[in-house]
Amino acid sequence: LSTKRESETVNITCRCDSRQGSCLSAHLSLSSEPVTMILRQFTARMAPQACVGVRNSLAAQRLLVEVARHNSDMAKFREVFSKAKHIAIITGSGVSAESGVPSFRGAKSYWRKWQVQDLATPEAFSRCPSRVWEFYHHRRELMLAKKPNAAHLAIAECEARLTRQGRSVVVITQNIDELHQRAGSKHVLEVHGNIFKTRCISCGDVKVNHHNPICAALEGKGSPEPDAIDANIPVEKLPRCEDGDCNGLLRPSVVWFGETLDSDVLTKVEKELDICDLCLVVGNSSIVYPAAMFGPQVASRGVPVAEFNMTTTPATSRFTFHFQGPCGTTLPPALAPHETEVI
């Protein structure tokens, strides 16, 4: 794993036996001391565990399925759940997918003729802020029309109920759609930001903004069709900062490809992962870093981790439990009131 901090390069070398298979690794560009420190903590803990050493073969897949089958004991999970005081729930795009929110992968990774990875970058915004804002206007409209599903609601209800019992639930999400908050979750850490927040590129002011459209010039714009023509909105008519007399250009307050994660958010995540006595990894592919390291990091200190996902993942064998199927189906009974709870 190689990370860059200003002019210094920090290399963390995997010592796995390559004959056993490919190790889990990531490349992140880091520009701040706290983020580099946090990633060092993650990698120091995870380097030995991350080398799963399982080939991507049919035999490996059969092994993962067999491990998952043996770990799908809901009664045992419920017993662990009933005793947990600090629960961390890590959620990924699989949760939002059940609400109809498309991910950045596969056929849905295109907007017009561009891949999302080519639009969601600082460079793309610098070259053509109008096009990028059209894309995000389309995504904001799409997400505003979606509703929390059974998984979101189960998590929110669980948090409210356990809070009354003096227990805690934190949601650590990679999703930017705010569906957890709309379901009622209060303690949410957004690792990749929030599409309904803006950040001024001049003064740095961050504000919540649910206006639709976010500015008059974007009304009726943002069609995703391949033959749609760019609106080429003048930059002065794009969303502008209203903090005092700044009037700087606004951008979505999300983490773009090639950008660093918010060090303050990562510090809070680290604290939550350090104190949790039960961790759920929900709708997460376990391939996007650093979030892919969160669950295995918790498991490495002996804390039970339960994975809820449509399929097995590269991290499945590291976890105590695996429940396969739609999160909206598997999660509600898992988080329902336990018979020992005093409600």
More reliable by pLDDT, 281 or 3: 281
- Kindly state the percentage of the chain with pLDDT values over 70: 78
Q: Which of 86, 137, 138, 192 is catalytic?
A: 192
Sheet with 27-29: list strands edge to edge: 8-11, 2-5, 27-29
What CATH number does the domain located at 61-97+148-191+262-335 have?
3.40.50.1220
Condensed to tens digits (0 to 9), the pLDDT of residues 161-209 reads 999 999 999 999 999 999 999 999 999 999 999 999 999 999 999 999 9
CA 239 to chain centre: 26
Query: What letter represents residue 136's amino acid?
Result: Y
Q: Are strands 250-254 and 206-208 parallel, antiparallel or unpaired?
A: unpaired
5-32 average pLDDT score = 35
14 marked ligand binding residue:
no
Q: Which residues contact 181 (CB under 8 A, 6 or more apart)?
A: 188
48-57 average pLDDT score = 42
Condensed to tens digits (0 to 9), the pLDDT of residues 202-258 reads 999 999 999 999 999 999 999 999 999 999 999 999 999 999 899 999 999 999 999
The C-alpha atoms of residue 149 and residue 98 are separated, in whole angstroms, by 7
Contact between 319 and 64 under an 8 Å Cβ cutoff? The reply is no
* Average predicted confidence (pLDDT) for the chain: 84
pLDDT of residue 91: 98
215 marked ligand binding residue:
no
pLDDT of residue 71: 82
pLDDT band at 74 (very low <50, low <70, confident <90, very high): very high
Q: Which residue has the tokens 């998984």?
A: 151
Q: Which residues contact 106 (CB under 8 A, 6 or more apart)?
A: none
The DSSP code sequence of 60-126 is HHHHHHHHHHHT--HHHHHHHHHH-SEEEEEE-HHHHHTTT---SSGGGGEETTEEHHHHSSHHHHH
More reliable by pLDDT, 65 or 255: 255
Query: Given its phi and psi angles, is residue 16 left (phi above 0), alpha (psi -120 to 50 degrees) or beta?
Result: beta
Condensed to tens digits (0 to 9), the pLDDT of residues 246-274 reads 999 999 999 999 999 999 999 999 999 99
CA 316 to chain centre: 17
The reported pTM is 0.81
Condensed to tens digits (0 to 9), the pLDDT of residues 113-135 reads 999 999 999 999 999 999 999 99
pLDDT of residue 85: 98
Q: Domain 106-145+193-254 class?
A: alpha beta
137 is catalytic: no
N-to-C CA span, the chain? 46
Q: Are strands 168-173 and 188-190 parallel, antiparallel or unpaired?
A: parallel
Residue 194's H or E segment, with its range, is: strand 193-200
| Cα within 13 Å of Cα(326), Cβ side | 11
| Alpha-carbon distances, residue 100 vs 153, 194, 208, 318, 328 (angstroms) | 15, 17, 23, 30, 12
pLDDT of residue 10: 36
pLDDT of residue 2: 38
pLDDT of residue 59: 55
279 marked ligand binding residue:
no
Upstream peptide bond of 48 is cis (omega within 30 degrees of 0): no
The C-alpha atoms of residue 230 and residue 181 are separated, in whole angstroms, by 33
Upstream peptide bond of 148 is cis (omega within 30 degrees of 0): no
Task: List, by residue range, all CATH 3.40.50.1220 domains of the chain.
Answer: 61-97+148-191+262-335
The C-alpha atoms of residue 238 and residue 43 are separated, in whole angstroms, by 41
pLDDT of residue 160: 98
241 marked ligand binding residue:
yes
Task: List, by residue range, all CATH 3.30.1600.10 domains of the chain.
Answer: 106-145+193-254
pLDDT at 8 over 50: no
Q: Are strands 114-115 and 188-190 parallel, antiparallel or unpaired?
A: unpaired
